[in-house]
Amino acid sequence: MADDEPGRPARHALLAAATLRGYAWLIAERNTSMSLVSTVAPMLPVGLGLGMIGAALADTTLRQVDHDHAGSASGLFNTSTQLGIALGTALTSVVFFAHSPAGSHGTTITAAFTGTLWYVIAALLAMWALTLLLPKRHATD
């Protein structure tokens, strides 16, 4: 399976979403008694899935750009990516702090965190759906 195969970014978004779903379940089950390993380990496949999305999306979105405009297109792609990351982080933080008032502890923070994960999962599922609309690579490309 080649990295530029159609649908590859979509599968990686689903990997990240499924892992976060499992992470939300794990947090709800164990609450505040999670070990460091059980807290960090699920983030590895999430990072793997998100990292694989970036390379495939760059190839998919920039492959049809003329050589003369490649630098500008690459800069616009990277700027859009960084802006999306910044906005996603900011909006996720807003959701988290809206569900955890100042001075919150224990289960309130846990509930706010798992609630926030559902918004991130929804964003990943939306990303998955949008990647299905990307142009397919032709055999001559």
Looking at every residue in the chain, the average pLDDT score rounds to: 82
Task: Examine residue 127 and state whether it is found in any structural domain, yes or no.
Answer: yes
pLDDT tens string 111-140: 888 889 999 999 889 988 887 777 666 655
pLDDT tens string 24-38: 888 888 776 778 887
Task: Examine residue 97 and state whether it is found in any structural domain, yes or no.
Answer: yes
Q: How confident is the model at residue 94 (pLDDT cuts 50, 70, 90)?
A: very high
Task: Examine residue 111 and state whether it is found in any structural domain, yes or no.
Answer: yes
> Residue 73 belongs to what domain range?
8-131
The pTM score is 0.72
List, as one string, the DSSP characters of the chain.
--TT-TTHHHHHHHHHHHHHHHHHHHHHHHTT---HHHHHTTHHHHHHHHHHHHHHHHHHHHTTS-GGGHHHHHHHHHHHHHHHHHHHHHHHHHHHHHHS-TT--THHHHHHHHHHHHHHHHHHHHHHHHHTTSPPPPTT-
Asked if residue 4 has pLDDT above 60, the reply is: no
pLDDT of residue 100: 86
Task: Examine residue 114 and state whether it is found in any structural domain, yes or no.
Answer: yes
pLDDT of residue 138: 60
Average pLDDT over residues 62-89: 90
Task: Examine residue 93 and state whether it is found in any structural domain, yes or no.
Answer: yes
- Domain count along the chain: 1
Task: Examine residue 3 and state whether it is found in any structural domain, yes or no.
Answer: no
Task: Examine residue 138 and state whether it is found in any structural domain, yes or no.
Answer: no
Query: Are the C-beta atoms of 5 and 138 separated by less than 8 Å?
Result: no
